[in-house]
Each structure stands twice: as C-alpha cells, then as structure tokens.
Amino acid sequence: MPPQRTIAIAMELNLPFQWHYGIYTGVQQYAHRHKHWHCVIDEFPQYHMNRARGAQPYDGIIARVTRSLASSATRHDIPVVNVWSTSPVRSVPTVNIDFAECGRLCVEHLLERGFRRFGFIMREHHPNDLVENSAFQQRVEEAGFSSSSVMVDNGDLVDAKTWGRTQDKILEWLQSFERPVGIFVPQGNFSRHIVHLCDNLGWHVPLDVAIICGENDPIFCESPAPSLTAIERNFANVGYEAARLLDRILDGEEPPTEPTSLPPRGIVPRNSTDFFAVEDALVGDALRFMNANLRKPLDVQLIASAIATSPRTLQRRFKQCMDRSVAAEVRRLRVELAKRMLVDLDNPITQVARDSGFDSAIRMHEVFKRELGVSPSEFRKQQLQSS
C-alpha cells in the first residue's frame, strides 16, 4: 500500500468555469480509486506552506500554477503539476488539452457533412485559440479549401460600446461568406451570440450556418433551439492524468520536460450541424433521408425512390459529389451513430447494433473491425479509459 498523501487542489473553483470543475472532478476520480490520496481544496497553498512550522501541510499540489505558487513550492521542495494551459510558469510539469487536435476534429466533423467553406472566431491574444485556428486552417487547406477567421476582443462584453463594435465586426465578417458555411466558436457563451447575429441577418442555423461550440456545456448547448454541436474536450481526463502524473513523481519518477497534451473525447452532435452542405441538392436530399432513417433497412433502391430519382442517377451523382458510394456513406453514418451510443454504458452492444441499423451485433463487429480496427467493445473500453 503506498503511503498516505495529502494533495492540495488550487483550481479557482470560485469561478463558474466548466473546465475548472471538470479538472477538479478528474482529480477526485483518481483520489476515489487510489485510497492513499486525500485531497484538500486550497486556492492559496503557498500561504499555508510559507506559514508551516515543521512538516509541510501537503505532499503535492495540482493547480493553475501562478509564479508565487511555483516559487513557494520550489522553495519547500513540494512537487506541483500545472493544469493551466496559459500559465506564466513553464518550469513545472503540465497536463492539458491537445488544442491542435481539437481544431482538426472540428474540421473533420464539418467535412463529413459536406461543408466547403469554413470560419473560426478567435479571441485576441488567446494562445489556445491561436493553436486551434492554425490547426483548423491547416486541415481545411489539406482538404483543398480555405478558411477565414475573425478576431474579437477578449473584453468584448465589458461595455455596450465595445460590444456594439464587436457585433458590427462579426456581422461584416459573416456577410463576407457565401453560404452555407461551417463555423467553430471556441468560447461557449459566445456561440449563442453568433446564433442571435445570424438570426438578425435572417440566416438559418444550420442550413445557412453550422456552428460548433468549443465548450460542451449543457447550459449553452442544449437550449434554446437550435441546440449546439460541441467539442467534448474531456477536462476530467486532464485532472485524472494530472493526478496520476503527480503520484508517479511522488514515487520518485523524473517529471517530464514537455507538457502532456491529451486528445479531446470527440464531437457531440446537436442541431447546429445537423445539415449536409453539399452542392448537389439531390445528394443533400439523399443524405438527409439516410440520416433520418439509419435505424431502418436502407438500400440504394429505397433511398432513390424516397427522393424521386433512379438508383443509377443517385449512385452517379453521389460518387461525383461525395467521392464514395451510397452504401459506404450509410455504413459511415451507422458507425458514427453506434460510436455515440457506445459511450453510454446503459446501452448493451446488441441494442446499439439494432438501434444504429446494423443487422446484428456480429455485423456491427465486422464493420467496426474493418473501418476502425477495433471491435465495438474495444472501442467502448478505449472511451472509458479516456474519460
């Protein structure tokens, strides 16, 4: 049994930010599974370290590391793991999100829905947005398209005049696009502002503008309509891995010299991207029919009949527009639906197979192995390990 350890958590939990609470949750999950850990919320552990007479109050610290905290921890020889991506301190081990992968993942989601025009709303002087936008643009260019970004002031909501200028700037930027366009908005509450501005232009979400929110917060994402597709960054995993790293350091392991970047869990699809932006209206109709009827038996004849065309015409135009067959797209959509369902442990694999349109669990297993290289149960296990 490892020795008992008292760990300070300094996460600014007085601020109502999802990522602070998420990281805290992950640390507590680690402590729950490792009984030798005892966690104490202390927003200023340096105060108690500096006042200690004799034994220090903490064996280690997980924190949004400030310069004063880092200096005090070094002076008292107490290991610290940082979970603040923009911390001014670079000399302590850090665990955070792979923001570049977040940017790429958002483009992939929009590409799968046929979007060919892309936008990114970024905050001025925000390092994470810069990294995400760079990766976002690079992935768009790799796909043969281009992306436009607009910079907004971090203090855009400080006063009415500044906010008015910001709105005018975004409206002008939005009107520069030929629709439909897919837009990534890293800041959660700002996504709702973009929906309102689109309403002011008479634009429909998602038919004219598809929006991906950078924070999967139910407060902003699930209501009112349209609900917002979001990227699940999985901050709980950051907390869990920060705790695991700190435990290893306390066991004598040398701390890493480079930050640990963890991939996001994935995209949580909602109404704001529930649209297939393809130039061919016939193919768009087919995609919408397929997406609405995935749980039912689907073949080319049925789909063609539903949209009043011939199977041959549908196959030809689908191949020209999507560069894959109708059957391949049906499989892809079913795999994506099954992946979302597998994350929920309450869904037995046989039910997932049935509800995502596969003939049987065996058939779903075959498709998963061929398309993803893992079985449905292995995929579920991977998702649980990263949560």
Note every long-range contact of 53-60, with CB atoms under 8 Å and residues 24 or more positions apart, other chains counting. 57/6, 57/8, 58/6, 58/7, 58/8, 59/5, 59/6, 59/7, 59/250, 60/5, 60/7, 60/8, 60/246, 60/249, 60/250
50-54, 248-252, 382-386: which range is least confident on average?
Answer: 382-386
Distance CA 73, CA 84 (A): 16
Q: Whose structure tokens read 């680690």? A: 30
At residue 156, the pLDDT reads: 53
Residue type at 148 in one-letter notation? S
pTM of the model as a whole: 0.80
Mean of pLDDT values over 321-338: 89
Mean of pLDDT values over 266-284: 85
pLDDT bucket at 340, cuts 50 / 70 / 90 = confident
Mean of pLDDT values over 341-361: 87
Q: Which two tokens stand for residue 17?
A: 């930010």
**CA torsion through residues 142, 143, 145, 148, sign:** negative
The helix/strand/coil state of 91 is coil
At residue 157, the pLDDT reads: 64
The helix/strand/coil state of 176 is coil
The strand order across the sheet containing 147-152 reads 147-152, 118-123, 181-185, 209-213, 229-232, 266-268
Mean of pLDDT values over 264-291: 86
Mean of pLDDT values over 18-24: 95
Per DSSP, what are the bridge partners of residue 385?
none
Antiparallel, parallel or unpaired: β 260-262 and 229-232: unpaired
Mean pLDDT over all residues of the chain? 92
pLDDT above 80 (res 279) = no
Mean of pLDDT values over 40-49: 96
At residue 361, the pLDDT reads: 93
pLDDT higher at 345 or 148: 148
At residue 160, the pLDDT reads: 85
pLDDT above 90 (res 276) = no
At residue 112, the pLDDT reads: 85
Antiparallel, parallel or unpaired: β 229-232 and 266-268: antiparallel
Q: Which range has the top average pLDDT, 137-141, 162-166, 221-225?
A: 137-141
